[in-house]
A and B are shown apart, each in its own frame.
Chain A
Amino acid sequence: MLNTFVMPDLYPAAPEIFLLLMSFVVLFADLIFGATQRRLAGRLTLMTLLGCAAITLFTTDGQASLTFSNMFVDDLLADLLKLLTYLAVAVTLIYGRQYLGDRKLDKGEFYLLVLYATLGMMVMISAASFLTLYLGLELMSLSLYALVAIDRDSPRATEAAMKYFVLGAMASGLLLYGMSMIYGATGTLEIGGIAQALLQGQTDKTILIFGLVFIVAGIAFKLGVVPFHMWIPDVYHGAPTAVTLFIGSAPKLAAYAMALRLLVYGLFSLAKEWQTMLLIMAVLSIGLGNLAAIAQTNIKRMLAYSAISHMGFMLLGLMAGVVGAEFDPFTAINAYSSALYYTVAYVLMSLGSFGMILLLSRAGYEAENLDDFKGLNQRSPWFAAIMLVFMLSMAGIPFFIGFFAKFAVLLAAVKAGHTVVAVVAVLFSLVGAFYYLRVVKLMYFDEPVDAAPISAPFDMKALLSINGIAVAAFGLFPDRIMAICTTVLLRSL
């Protein structure tokens, strides 16, 4: 057996393979032509993402196909999350192009690191084994650490990268430790196999719970929820805004996949245990994130704390899938899809609001303080309205996507019997409304301090406008995305 090599079916992993190949193309193209054609690497990266999207779309067959000895899975959920990841990454690149160009950061390395981080996310999304998941996670994380530090001359960025790296490495360690416990108890690394082993119920529960705690801690770190949130504000603040935008969007999708694959696919038999852990973390995140965001004067930090609270909301949906002892698949699917919908909504809003910061920044000037938004309505009524949409959507005011995301999660939580938790969550979103409204106040009620005209490339302005309109339009008609989320989960679980 040992010396027979079985060629794995490469077809399910076609997008990953394509991306890897293209990364070499980008590397060499940048090496050879980079000096004369500065925008080549960026264009090639966008084309790569487009190619990946095409491959993912054309290889979708609605079946879950396992490959690489059951370590890699290509199911509908993976396809959906990958498509969203490509979209988020592409939007990030377009929003960030001018910002990076102004700061001479748009070198080939940047695009390569983005591509590898994307590859890491894709592997995470498609992971069917603990090992694959860990591989993807590390590929993504290491690329992100480097990206945070890409502006080497900025002490703040370097400090943020250092913090991110140390804490991130520790979290990976925790995760790995937890995985080894589960492996010890069940004797397998395959997520499906673990679920089987747990169902038979012959494993030592103490070890399992012990491992579970570490796994949940690892997930919590990647999502950035309390009490594993410490890195978020520093990294969001310290990284160049284009990188913050990147960290704040696509990896959330991958982290959702990771949580779902590990907890729901793998450790579902321990749901009662992890449900309680998630509940506590969710409530703490919603509370602390919203309270701490009030005190911020830097909008990147403010959005960082708001990210913590949003991820808390997402966890609320994720934990609402299991109701006590009895298990109802429809309730569960609804809850997981509410969390998925929340993540998608959050990614859209996060892209837009960091995009706005990039829009207002220019060469030698970072528009990252709240005061930089003062009087935006007088400088550009259109973009003030777009930012209004993002902020109110994040606050959960209706007719924007954020409201229905919150609604779906609250519905799932109340259905799972957590009415009190829902009340606490909405009370904290009232606190949240305050700081989002403050941004609106700055834009509309105050006089501008910075009168420079807004200059940005056309494609960025157009995309930002589309982003804003999407947040509003999916708020008016949220049914389509919700239906997609539910269908995909129904057919992948």
Chain B
Amino acid sequence: MNSYLLSLAIWVPVLGALPVLALGSGRRNMVRWLALAVALAGFAVTLPLYIGFDVHQTGMQYVEQLPWIPRFNLQYMLGVDGISMPFVILNSFITVIVVIAGWDVIEEKQAQYMGAFLIMSGLVNGIFSALDGILFYVFFEASLIPMYIIIGVWGGPNRVYAAIKFFLYTLLGSLLMLVAMIWLFLEAGGSASILDWYRLPIGLTAQILLFIAFMLSFAVKVPMWPVHTWLPDAHVEAPTGGSVVLAAIALKQGAYGFLRFSLPILPDASHYLAPMVITLSLIAVVYIGFVALAQADMKKLVAYSSISHMGFVTLGFFIFNPLGMEGALVQMISHGFVAGAMFLCIGVMYDRMHSRQIADYGGVVNTMPKFAAFFMLFAMANSGLPATSGFVGEFMVVLGAVKFNFWIGFAAATTLILGAAYTLWMYKRVVFGAVANDHVAKLTDINAREFLFLAVLAICVLAMGLYPLPVTEVMHASVDNLLKHVAVSKLP
């Protein structure tokens, strides 16, 4: 059965970006509306993926297979399961938000800005739906280019450093992954299909080496402690839209890589090295949580909070129980909404004040009441308040971790305190209190456009928090299947 939905999800935004780029920067209105139309079209073609999804099927759905490079037996092979499908939709959705968020704010080279985001959106959909290892790699690597340009062109004062650091860090990991993939390709008798790799018996030493190669790539992307240092730089320097995409989408690629490659292809090494990954995850959760507490720059604070939350995700994967893994996946999606929204909120303030220092603010609620209400909701979600999406994932992972080992669960649960501490303390200093200075006094509340995207995200956060079933339902079969697969040794 060949379906074209995934190809559409990839190529509609990429090809749609070309006319946007061709319009040039002179015709701002046309550029914006066309970009929005393309983003909406890109989002629209992903919706049937959800509607037509068979939640009981464990395998890949919407599979497309075409020969791509027959000489190497590389296939243009796409497909999604319950793990990857939600991310395709999330990514296309966030792209729409980003286009709206960049509507007035981006004044220079808007066509290129929109074009870069659209191209990236398509490439990222490719990452989540590629079933051929090399095809995955190609998308994985190519998606760095637009992000590099976004950070470097529209970023803050230290943008060049941040952009190059971002690119080289990520490239370092992925180049080793390429060698690992070539090795697997040859070992599988000249097949790059991920599904073939799943069935490949591999010895333990080789598994461990491959695991490390893959992990370097994914750990940088997630990012895990200690290879996280590019993220605060990239987040702080990137324009708002770039931060949103980085937090909501780019980080998920690393975590997704663990699920698609490391766990199922290398189950024995995964079990063998799980204590290491769990330790690194806990360090990220606890230590980075404290680091976040000490930040004076709001974006940096949210960046560190992202690292801490992603530590939760990797923890959930490597405790090997359904609760932990599903919780981690929910956390990934929820973090996409929440972290995206947090960066948008900071962007809203930055556009007015041109400062991200917490110390420059105070009493924002007096001048921006509507904004303060939204910001409150997202801050609460970020700290894991029940009834928001942030709670569901964290709670599931903690439950899973306690089942696995009480003390690991205990350590992970500190995030509920730490997360609340750094987020709410920041919120208090920025929003409450007396009006701190003249600049704050002159602030104007959010306009209709800002209201729109914040409201949409708020609905998502609340809906997922109150009724997560539509999300967990699609994942269930795939997660069970993955865990069953991981439980079986692949040693020859």
Residues of A near any B CB (own CB < 8 A)? 377, 381, 388, 392, 397-399, 403-404, 407-408, 410-411, 414-415, 419, 422-423, 426-427, 429-430, 433-434, 437-438, 440-441, 444-445, 477-479, 482-483, 486
Whether B168 pairs with A426 at a CB distance below 8 angstroms is no
Q: How far in angstroms is the closest Cβ of chain A from B412?
A: 34
What's the nearest-Cβ distance from chain B to residue A392, in Å?
A: 6
Chain A residues positioned under 8 Å from B138 (CB to CB) = 398-399, 403
Shortest C-beta distance, B213 to chain A (Å), equals: 9
Q: Report whether A434 and B164 are in contact in the complex, using a CB–CB cutoff of 8 Å.
A: yes
CB distance from A379 to the nearest CB of B (A): 13
Q: Complex: how many Å from CA A411 to CA B180?
A: 11
A445 touches B163 (CB 8 A): yes
Which of A377, A388, A437, A477 is in CB contact (< 8 Å) with B164? A437
Report A347 CB to chain B, min CB distance, Å.
Answer: 20
Q: Which B residues are in CB contact (< 8 Å) with A392? A: 145
**Can you report 13 A-B residue pairs in the complex whose CB atoms are below 8 A from each other?**
A381-B24, A397-B141, A408-B72, A414-B186, A422-B182, A423-B176, A423-B179, A426-B179, A427-B175, A433-B168, A434-B168, A441-B163, A479-B70
Q: How many A-B residue pairs have CB under 8 A?
A: 91
Min CB distance A272 to B, Å, is 22
Q: Is B255 an interface residue (CB 8 A)?
A: no
Residues of chain A contacted by B21 (CB below 8 angstroms): 381
Contacts of B69 in A (CB 8 A): 404, 478-479, 482
Stretch at the interface among B83-91, B147-155, B480-488: B147-155
Contact between chains at A414 and B183 (CB < 8 Å): yes
Q: Across the interface, do A433 and B171 meet the contact criterion of CB distance under 8 Å?
A: yes
Do the beta carbons of A426 and B164 come within 8 Å of each other? no
Docked pose: A437 CA to B153 CA in angstroms: 13
B464 within 8 A of A: no
CB < 8 Å: which of A403, A433, A479 contacts B68?
A479
Residue of B nearest to A427 (CB): B175
In the complex, whether B40 has a CB less than 8 A from a CB of chain A is no
CB pair B179–A444 under 8 Å, yes or no, is: no
Residue of B nearest to A392 (CB): B145
The reply on B144 being an interface residue by CB < 8 A is: yes
Instruction: Look across to chain A and name the residue whose beta carbon is closest to the beta carbon of B70.
Output: A479
Contact B167 A433 (CB under 8 A): yes
Beyond A430-B171, A437-B167, A479-B68, whether A445 also contacts B159 by CB under 8 A is yes
Complex Cα spacing A398 to B137, Å: 8
Q: Would B179 and A414 count as touching, CB distance under 8 A?
A: yes
Using Cβ atoms and an 8 Å threshold, which residues of chain B touch A403?
138, 141
Is the Cβ of A445 less than 8 Å from the Cβ of B168? Answer: no
- Range, interface on chain B: 35 or more
Tell me if B441 counts as interface (CB < 8 A to partner A).
no
CA distance A392 to B145 in the complex (A): 9
CB distance B71 to A483 under 8 Å? Answer: yes
Contact of B149 among A414, A419, A444, A477 (CB under 8 A): A444
Cα-based distance from A284 to B153 in the complex (angstroms): 36
Q: Chain A residues near B159 (CB, 8 Å)?
A: 445
Pair B153/A445 contact, Cβ less than 8 Å: yes
Bound: A403/B68 CA distance, A: 15
Starting from the known contacts A381-B112, A398-B138, 18 additional A-B residue pairs (CB-CB under 8 Å) come to: A377-B109, A381-B24, A398-B141, A399-B142, A403-B141, A411-B182, A411-B185, A411-B186, A414-B179, A430-B171, A433-B167, A438-B164, A445-B159, A445-B160, A477-B68, A478-B69, A479-B70, A483-B70
Does residue B178 face the partner (Cβ distance < 8 Å to A)? Answer: yes
Asked whether, in the complex, the Cβ of A479 is within 8 Å of the Cβ of B71, the reply is yes
A430 near B175 (CB under 8 angstroms)? yes
Q: Which residues of B62-79 are within 8 A (CB) of A?
A: 68-72
**A437–B152 alpha-carbon span in the complex (Å):** 11
Q: Nearest chain B CB to A118's CB is how many angstroms away?
A: 30
**A430 and B168 in contact (CB under 8 A), knowing A397-B145, A479-B69, A482-B71?**
yes
Most buried by A among B152, B171, B176: B171
| CB of A317 to closest CB in B, whole Å | 13
Residues of B within 8 A of A433 (CB): 167-168, 171
- List CB contacts (< 8 Å) of B175-204 with chain A: 175-176, 178-179, 182-183, 185-186
Is B172 part of the binding interface, using a Cβ–Cβ cutoff of 8 Å? yes
In whole angstroms, what is the CA distance A422 to B209 when docked? 14
Q: Would you call A444 and B168 a contact (CB within 8 A)?
A: no
Cα distance A479–B69 in the bound complex, in angstroms: 5
Shortest beta-carbon distance from B171 to chain A in Å: 6
With an 8 A cutoff between CB atoms, is B134 at the interface?
yes
**Residues A407 and B134 in contact, CB atoms below 8 Å apart:** yes
Q: Which residues of A contact B152 (CB under 8 A)?
A: 441, 444-445
What chain A residues lie within 8 Å of B163 (beta carbons)?
A: 441, 445
Taking CB as reference atom, which chain A residue is nearest B159?
A445
Complex CA distance for A399 and B137, rounded to whole angstroms: 10
Nearest-CB residue, chain B, relative to A404: B69
Set A398, A410, A478, A479: member contacting B179, Cβ < 8 A? A410
**How near does chain B come to A116, taking the closest CB pair, in angstroms?**
37
For residue A123, give the distance in angstroms from its CB to the closest CB of chain B: 31
7 nearest A-B residue pairs (beta carbon): A398-B138, A426-B175, A445-B152, A479-B69, A398-B141, A399-B142, A414-B182
Which residue on B lies nearest to A414, using beta carbons?
Answer: B182
Give complex CA distance A381, B168 in Å. Answer: 24
Give the complex CA separation of A335 and B96 in angstroms.
46
Most A CB within 10 A of own CB, among B139, B172, B179: B179
The reply to whether A411 and B168 contact each other, CB–CB distance below 8 Å, is: no
Q: Are A441 and B175 in contact (CB under 8 A)?
A: no
* CA of A423 to CA of B182, assembled, Å: 11
| Residues of chain B lying within 8 A (CB to CB) of residue A478 | 69
Shortest Cβ gap from B10 to chain A (Å): 12
Q: Which residue of A lies closest to B209 (CB)?
A: A419
**Residues of A close to B72: CB separation below 8 A:** 408, 411, 482
Q: Indicate which residue in A427, A437, A482 contacts B148 across the interface (CB closer than 8 Å).
A: A437
Bound CA span A426–B159, Å: 26
A445 contact set on B, CB distance < 8 A? 152-153, 159-160, 163
Cβ B142 vs Cβ A398 within 8 A: yes
CB–CB A429/B175 < 8 A:
yes
Residues of B within 8 A of A407 (CB): 134, 178, 182
On chain B, the residues within 8 Å of A381 by CB distance are 21, 24, 112
Cα A337 to Cα B185 in complex, Å, equals: 19
- A410 vs B186: C-alpha distance in the bound complex, in angstroms? 11
Residues of B contacting A444 in the complex (Cβ-Cβ under 8 angstroms): 149, 152-153
Task: Report chain A residues within 8 Å CB of B71.
Answer: 479, 482-483, 486
Alpha-carbon distance between A411 and B190 when the two chains are bound, in angstroms: 10
Interchain nearest-CB distance for B107 vs A (Å): 14
Interchain nearest-CB distance for B125 vs A (Å): 15
Specify which of A397, A411, A419, A423 is in contact with B144 (CB 8 Å cutoff). Answer: A397
Task: State the Cβ distance, A154 to closest chain B Cβ, in Å.
Answer: 35
